[in-house]
Amino acid sequence: MKILILGANGFIGTHLTESILATTDWQITAMDLMQDKLDHCITNPRFHFTLGDMTKQTEWIDQQIQQCDVVLPLVAVATPALYVQDPLRVFELDFEANLAIIRSCARHQTRVIFPSTSEVYGMCPDEAFDEETSVLVTGPINKERWIYSTSKQLMDRVIYAYGKHKGLAYSLFRPFNWYGPRLDNVFNPKPGGSRVLTQFIGNILRGESIQLVNGGAQQRCFTYVDDGIQALMRIIENKNNVADNRIFNIGNPVENISIRQLAETLVKLISAHYPDYAEKANAVQLVNVDAKNYYGEGYQDVTLRVPSISAAREVLSWEPKTQLEIGLRKTLDYYLR
Ligand code: UGA
C-alpha cells in the first residue's frame, strides 16, 4: 500500500509514521514544513519525505494523490488559544487548504482518511457523543473558539457529500484529547501556547503556577496516542472495506477526568517518580483563572466530552487499553528524562 501523509512531522503524523514503518511493509510519501521529530524515520527506505508547504506545493501534492492508495491530510492548527487569536488562519489552513486536498482526492478517486475532531460536538448535551445521532452545538459568532469546530464540521459535511454524490471513498476519525510524547513543545511559555497537558508540564518545569480555567471542573477523556494510532492503523488497513464512508470517535471514555484532577495527578506523579523535578512539583500552586482573562472574550468551553466508541469497537474491533497514569508516565518520561 502507498500512503501519502501531509503533516507527517506533527503529533499524530510522527506516531503514525513510526507505527507504519515498524509494523507493515507499506510505503509512505510525506510532506511537512519541518522534520525535527522524524529524524529516526528519515533513513528508512520506505519513507519518502519532502520538506515543503502544503499550501504552496500544490502540483506536487496533486501528483502524489494520483499515485497513492490513501491520503491522510493531517495539517491543521489544533490549539484553542489560536482559534481565538487567529481565527482566519484556522479557517484558511484547516478548511481552505484541506479542501483543495479533498477535491484532488475526489478528482483522482483516491481514498482519504481525514482528521475530524471531538470539537465538532461542541457543547452537545449527550452523555456520550454518537457519530450518527448527536447534535453538534456551537456558540454565537462572537465566541471565535468555535471556528475550529465549525471549519472541521463543514469539512466533514463536504467529505460526506463527495462520498455520497461523487463516489469518494473516505473515513473520518475524531480524536478525543489524544496525548503522549511529542504532543506540543513544553518550553512554550505563553499561556494557552499548547494543549493542556503540555501546558501544565511546562508550568511545573518553569516553577510557575498552574492556571485552572474557570476552576478546572470541565472534563476531558484523555486518550493515549498509541491507542489512537492502533485505531487509525485499522482504518488505513480497511479489511473488507469496513471503514469506508464511516465516521469513528477515537477516544477513551473510561479515562474521563476534570482538568483540576489532571493537574493534581501530574503533580503527584512528578513528585513521586521524577526526583529532579519533585521540588518544583511540590511547590506548584493551582490557581483559578477566569476564561476571559486566560483566552480572551472569544472563548467558550466544553464541560463534558465523552465519546461513544461503539462504532470503533464493532467495526474496527478496537478498544483503548492505556490507563491514564500509565500514559502520563510514558509522556513524562519523554519530556523529563
Ligand atoms: C482540544 C483542541 O481543540 C484540539 O487539540 C482537539 O481537536 C481536541 O481538543 C481534542 O483533542 O479532542 P480542548 O480539550 O478544549 O480542545 O483543549 P486543551 O487546550 O487541551 O484544554 C483542555 C481544557 O483545559 C480546557 O477546558 C481549557 O480551558 C483547560 N486549560 C487549558 C486550563 O484549565 N489551563 C490551561 O493552562 C490550559
**216 Cα nearest atom in ligand 1:** 33
29 within ligand 1 shell (Cβ under 6 A): no
pLDDT at 191 (0 to 100): 79
pLDDT at 10 (0 to 100): 96
Mean pLDDT for back-to-back runs of 10 residues, the chain (337 residues): 98 98 98 95 97 97 98 96 96 98 98 98 98 98 98 98 98 98 89 91 96 98 98 98 98 98 98 97 98 96 98 98 98 96
Structural domain spans, the chain: 76-178+223-251+307-320
pLDDT at 225 (0 to 100): 98
Joined together, the cell numbers standing for residue 177 give 484529547
Ligand 1 centroid to Cα of residue 195, in Å, is 5
pLDDT at 193 (0 to 100): 81
Ligand 1 centroid to Cα of residue 220, in Å, is 8
What does the alpha-carbon distance between residue 131 and residue 236 come to, in Å, rounded to a whole number? 19
183 within ligand 1 shell (Cβ under 6 A): no
Ligand 1 centroid to Cα of residue 213, in Å, is 10
pLDDT at 189 (0 to 100): 81
State the fold for domain 76-178+223-251+307-320: Rossmann fold (3.40.50)
pLDDT at 171 (0 to 100): 98
Say whether pTM exceeds 0.75: yes
pLDDT tens for each residue of 140-183:
999 999 999 999 999 999 999 999 999 999 999 999 999 999 99
**148 Cα nearest atom in ligand 1:** 3
**Residue 285 burial class via C-beta count within 10 angstroms: exposed 0-12, middle 13-18, buried 19 and up:** exposed
pLDDT tens for each residue of 290-318:
999 999 999 999 999 999 999 999 999 99
Cβ–Cβ < 8 Å for 94, 77: yes
266 within ligand 1 shell (Cβ under 6 A): no
Cβ–Cβ < 8 Å for 75, 96: no
